[in-house]
Amino acid sequence: MRQTTAQSPTPALGEWRRRRLIAAGFDETLAARLTRDGIVDLHELLVLLDRGCPPELAARILAPLDTPAAPS
């Protein structure tokens, strides 16, 4: 089975992901950042939200360590 590989999404896929995160409660800037590079696992983000984690904290938890934190 294929390992999740980081590759920039197509524009249509990126837009779908961005809209999905906005619908889940992420603000537009954060949603755009998270979906830009095809790195973050949206399913894991949404699982964290289901458990009561605020969007910004979920993003911080799942963003790679070498990605600068979003400005607050």
Partner 1 sequence: MRRPAVDTVRPVASEPAPRVAPASPAGTLDAESRRWLEALSGTGHARDEAIGRLHELLLRAARFEVSRRRLGLPYLRGGDHDDLAQQSADDALVAVLAKLADFRGESRFTTWVYKFALYEAAVKLRRRAWQDRELPLEPDSWPDIASRALSPEEHAAESELLGALRDAINDALSAHQREVLVAITLNDVPIDVLAERLNTTRGALYKTLHDARRKLRARLAAGGLDLTSNDAGHPR
Binding site for partner 1 (CB under 8 A): 1-5, 9, 12-13, 16-17, 20, 24, 38-44, 46-47, 49-51
Would you say 3 or 72 has its CB closer to partner 1?
Answer: 3
Would you say 16 or 70 has its CB closer to partner 1?
Answer: 16
Q: How far is the CB of 8 from partner 1 (least distance, A)?
A: 11
CB 71 within 8 A of CB 59: no
**Residue 31 carries which side chain, given as an amino acid letter?**
A
Which residues have C-beta within 8 Å of that of residue 44, sequence separation ≥ 6? 62
How is residue 25 written in tokens?
A: 């409660």
